[in-house]
Amino acid sequence: MICVAIEAAQLSPGPAALAEVFPPARLVLGTTFAPVDLLAYAVGVAVALVCDRLIPRRRRRPISPTAT
């Protein structure tokens, strides 16, 4: 949701103005809106979800008491 909010903020002149004052902000906020970015975010989330569901999780074995 954060990436969508940042992309929506790019519809205003705020991020571009901030990038002029503080250039590193350009790397985080960007300066122009691109609808294809929203599609890329959705595809990335879908890929991450599929990977999360398909890759088995390693289960920890319970520590069994050892006989001494």
Tokens 């300066």 sit on residue: 31
Q: Name the residue with higher pLDDT: 3 or 38.
A: 38
Cβ pair 31, 17 in contact under 8 A: no
- Predicted pLDDT at 21: 93
Q: Residue 62 has what pLDDT?
A: 67
Instruction: Tell me if 3 sits within 8 A of 41, measured CB to CB.
Output: yes
Tens digits of per-residue pLDDT, 10-55? Answer: 999 988 899 899 999 999 888 889 999 999 999 999 999 999 898 8
- pLDDT for 43: 95
Domain residue ranges in the chain: 2-54
Is the confidence at residue 57, as pLDDT, over 80?
Answer: no
Contacts of 9 (CB under 8 A, 6+ apart): 15, 29
**What single DSSP character describes residue 55?**
S
- Give the residue carrying structure tokens 């890329």: 40
Say which residues have a Cβ less than 8 Å from residue 19's Cβ, sequence separation at least 6: 25, 26, 29, 31
